[in-house]
Structure 1
Amino acid sequence: MNLKVFILALATIAVGLVELIVGGILPNIATDLGISVSTAGQLITIFALVYAIAGPVLLVLTSKFERKKVYMISLIIFILGNIVTYFSPNFTMIMIARVVTAASTALIVVLSLTIVAKIVEPAYQARALGFIYMGISSSLVLGVPVGILVANAFGWRVLFLGIALLAIGSLILISIFLEPIPGTDSIPLSTQIKALASPKIITAHLATMFFLAGHYTLYAYFTPFLENNLGMSANWISICYFVFGIAAIGGGAFGGALSDRIGSRKSIISVIVAFTIVLALLPFTTFSLLLFIPVMMIWGGLSWSLAPPQQSYLIQTDPVTSDIQQSFNNSALQIGISLGSGIGGIVLNQTVKLEYTAWIGSIVVVLALASAIYSLSQPVTKAKRIRKTMAQSSEI
């Protein structure tokens, strides 16, 4: 595999950590800044929201500029954002830094995917893209448990300094090994948005959004859930996050295999239904660790099982706009994370019982099920018009 692919994957690990690591250290941040855990959770909400909006917008705005230069500038901004977080004296300054790092992260991730597709031969593109996604997945598996251990030993701020150092290493490697890549004209953002006109497609994205929203209603506050409902120490919480992460990555493979076996349509419904049930049952298993861990692993596996059949479904629905739809589906995912962490914060402000986050989350996932059923029941009626609009934009 091309060395440049590994370097780009390393960069995605560094930038992926900055979003995911916060979920495990919310109590540390809240205690240090003198705020509630639910308020600290808004650091996840704002990051996901900015990420969702900034990705497609910044990609279009920077499309004509040389890609290596844009990548390096984005990394520099990302590094500065993490340094500001390290030195931030209050919550407001940290929130501003999160906006900066979220926007730069969104552009870095999408640039990693587009650059990889250009620097490898077509026969190896799928494998190369897999390495980039593996980098993001690795940040989920390693970031949260390692972050909890480091935060408890050295303080939560040092984590962001470490992320900045990883990004500096990536910046050096990118500057040495990646050759300049010219920019290209892209389809206008307004035209891309028109691709969402189909009710069949927009409700598919809503299914992704509500699915992740329901998941993050609990997952964004999983550390206090484990502390209060199971009385876990920091070490045990790290182990739980690590096991959850392994299950989540395995869930992605399961979702792909399930889709190949029974088809994307049946897989989407099956995963959402199973996820709703498991999420609702999870609080009832906290009386026994031997019961909780397996159910938690099923929850973790299902949380990533929707993506493969959903992506396959979008491609089958309209192959011409599939690339654009994948971009919007990633934004829907981030909006779901933002919405879910926000809902979880509201729940915590209304009640001290953390199990309510799981039950409210399962109700939100029911909205994902309703959206998926509606999408699957709709005919493809807008595809020809969308293709015509895109073709006209390309000619312009």
Structure 2
Amino acid sequence: MQTNQKPAALSGYQKVVIFILAMTQFTVVLDFMVMAPMGDILMKSLSLRPEQFGLAVSAYAFSAGASGLLTAGFADRFDRKKLLLFFYTGFIAGTVFCGLAVNYHLLIAARIITGLFGGVIGSITLAIVADIFSLEQRGRVMGFVQMGFGASQVLGIPIGLYLATAWGWQTTFIMIAGLGALIAVLILTRMRPLTEHLLLQRSGSAFSHLLQTVLSKRHRVGFTATALLSVGGFMMMPFSSAFAINNLHITEHQLPMLFMVSGVAALVVMPLIGKLSDQVDKFLLFSAASVWLMIVVLVYTNLSVTPLWLVMVFNVLMMVGIMSRMVPGTALTSAVPEMKDRGAFMSVNASLQQVAGGISAVFAGLIIRQEHPGSPLQHYDWVGYIVVAFSLLSIYLIYRVSRVVRQKSELAAAVPVMPEA
């Protein structure tokens, strides 16, 4: 069982790291998330069918998945600060290319480049969190780091939608790249090198390290759980704005407010859930949040024309469910690998998550139908039923992850080992 001891206080440097990682997540999440609210704009401006837009979203996910697998074997052999700076710089360049795209094919190519670099940043961030913060602190820390998700909706998405409406969707990506350049300077100047894991490395090739990471039974449980967690979001999110506009009759001018309200809810909920996750059993919190989310999804995906205030309520309830699953689930999964394997584990984990999400977005694009631009989306409720089924399965898999973490903690208590940061 999870202990309820009071988490250690955070140092000044740890708070600086949290801010840098949160801002890094803000830009990476915004770059991906903004595709959903701009979905209706992109589908109309580039004359895209639902399956084409699903592929545009998945292009990032598939390239991110490939990148995660390619870098997994090397992820534990470099200073994590340098690794983060390298991939974040590539992410900024890819985002600039998105802003320069003038047609569908160039956009696909730009999203592939962005995914190759951006898709690895999340795994590096998790490895840094696991290196610097104890398990008793990680729920709280992940709550703050994942606030980038909410902040992207409160600030990034409304501003991005305004720019897309006023000067074209390309300007949104230019804005993200400019902000990313400022954050890269912070990483370079304020973050200390992270090399302690290098002292624990075994001899052998990068491929053998990757193979050992993948073949570990304990790791495979974490991989499977994380992959399934991404299915729901990737199936519903890409078509969320098109559903809101064409089915619920939310106007394009109301859309930024809708995302802003959801984002404010995330900003409020994330720190609270993070603290709660460090005080109660993480699996029980995850299970309760999953049941909550399943109920909201079933109702929401079956709505027709709905007043704006009620749509806002449902989006807030859905956001609470998503965040309340994400924080404890991520904290538990981060505790599965040993320090020497964290980089490889997180890279493979992020890779499988992106690939599973990419397949989900493509699959959703094949399920959903739209007779012509502006007509209601058909079969969005089918997507909701599939999300519920995968949510049920994820509860069982996170239970297995929690057992692995508990067994690891019991073994560490019985056998003296080098303490982790």
Which residue in the other structure is 1:42 paired with?
55
Residue 173 of structure 1: how far off its partner (Å): 3.6
1-structure distance, mates of 2:351, 2:389: 20
Structure 1 counterpart of 2:298, which letter? A
Residue 140 of structure 1: how far off its partner (Å): 4.2
Which residue in the other structure is 1:246 paired with?
264
2-structure distance, mates of 1:130, 1:104: 24
Q: Secondary structure at the match of 2:34?
A: helix
1:7–1:272: structure 2 CA closer, same or farther, 3 Å change rule?
Answer: closer
Which residue in the other structure is 2:8 paired with?
none
Pairing 1:372–2:392 present: no
Higher mean displacement: 18-27 or 65-74: 65-74
Which residue in the other structure is 2:236 paired with?
218
Normalised by the length of structure 1, the TM-score is: 0.78
Match of 1:358 among 362, 381, 397: 381
Match of 1:64 among 65, 74, 77: 77
Pairing 1:342–2:355 present: no
1:58–1:238: structure 2 CA closer, same or farther, 3 Å change rule?
Answer: same
Structure 2 counterpart of 1:307, which letter? M
1:14–1:365: structure 2 CA closer, same or farther, 3 Å change rule?
Answer: same
Which residue in the other structure is 2:214 paired with?
193
Note if contact 1:48-1:338 (Cα within 8 Å) is conserved in structure 2.
yes
Which residue in the other structure is 2:322 paired with?
303
2-structure distance, mates of 1:168, 1:116: 22
Note if contact 1:207-1:369 (Cα within 8 Å) is conserved in structure 2.
no
Which residue in the other structure is 2:250 paired with?
232
Residue 76 of structure 1: how far off its partner (Å): 3.1
Higher mean displacement: 160-169 or 220-229: 160-169
1:295–1:60: structure 2 CA closer, same or farther, 3 Å change rule?
Answer: same
Note if contact 1:145-1:241 (Cα within 8 Å) is conserved in structure 2.
yes
2-structure distance, mates of 1:202, 1:339: 19
Which ranges in structure 1 are unaligned for 5 or more consecutive residues? Answer: 388-396
1-structure distance, mates of 2:94, 2:402: 45
Which residue in the other structure is 1:390 paired with?
none
Cα RMSD for the two superposed structures: 3.9
User: What are the residue-to-residue correspondences of 1:1-396 with 2, within 5 Å?
Assistant: 1-2=12-13, 5=17, 6-55=19-68, 57-115=70-128, 126=138, 131-178=144-191, 184=198, 186=201, 188-195=209-216, 197=217, 202=220, 205-250=223-268, 252=270, 263-289=281-307, 290-311=309-330, 314=333, 323=342, 330-349=350-369, 353-354=376-377, 356-373=379-396, 376=399
Residue 228 of structure 1: how far off its partner (Å): 0.9
1-structure distance, mates of 2:71, 2:222: 24
2-structure distance, mates of 1:283, 1:17: 24
Structure 2 counterpart of 1:218, which letter? M
Residue 16 of structure 1: how far off its partner (Å): 2.7
Higher mean displacement: 201-210 or 341-350: 201-210
2-structure distance, mates of 1:108, 1:313: 19
Normalised by the length of structure 2, the TM-score is: 0.74
1:81–1:350: structure 2 CA closer, same or farther, 3 Å change rule?
Answer: same
Structure 2 counterpart of 1:296, which letter? N
1:311–1:215: structure 2 CA closer, same or farther, 3 Å change rule?
Answer: closer
Note if contact 1:67-1:180 (Cα within 8 Å) is conserved in structure 2.
yes
2-structure distance, mates of 1:344, 1:360: 7
1-structure distance, mates of 2:128, 2:51: 38
1:62–1:217: structure 2 CA closer, same or farther, 3 Å change rule?
Answer: closer
Same amino acid, percent of matched pairs: 23
Q: Which has the higher helix share?
A: 1
Structure 2 counterpart of 1:298, which letter? L
Which ranges in structure 2 are unaligned for 5 or more consecutive residues? Answer: 1-11, 203-208, 412-421
Higher mean displacement: 261-270 or 29-38: 261-270
1:71–1:367: structure 2 CA closer, same or farther, 3 Å change rule?
Answer: closer
Structure 2 counterpart of 1:43, which letter? A
Structure 2 counterpart of 1:292, which letter? V
2-structure distance, mates of 1:371, 1:152: 38
1:243–1:17: structure 2 CA closer, same or farther, 3 Å change rule?
Answer: same
Residue 378 of structure 1: how far off its partner (Å): 10
Residue 152 of structure 1: how far off its partner (Å): 0.5
1:258–1:331: structure 2 CA closer, same or farther, 3 Å change rule?
Answer: farther
Note if contact 1:112-1:132 (Cα within 8 Å) is conserved in structure 2.
no
2-structure distance, mates of 1:257, 1:177: 26
Q: Secondary structure at the match of 1:306?
A: helix
Structure 2 counterpart of 1:50, which letter? S
Structure 2 counterpart of 1:214, which letter? G
2-structure distance, mates of 1:371, 1:108: 24
Note if contact 2:68-2:350 (Cα within 8 Å) is conserved in structure 1.
no
1-structure distance, mates of 2:141, 2:287: 30
Structure 1 counterpart of 2:47, which letter? G
Residue 331 of structure 1: how far off its partner (Å): 4.4
1-structure distance, mates of 2:365, 2:376: 12
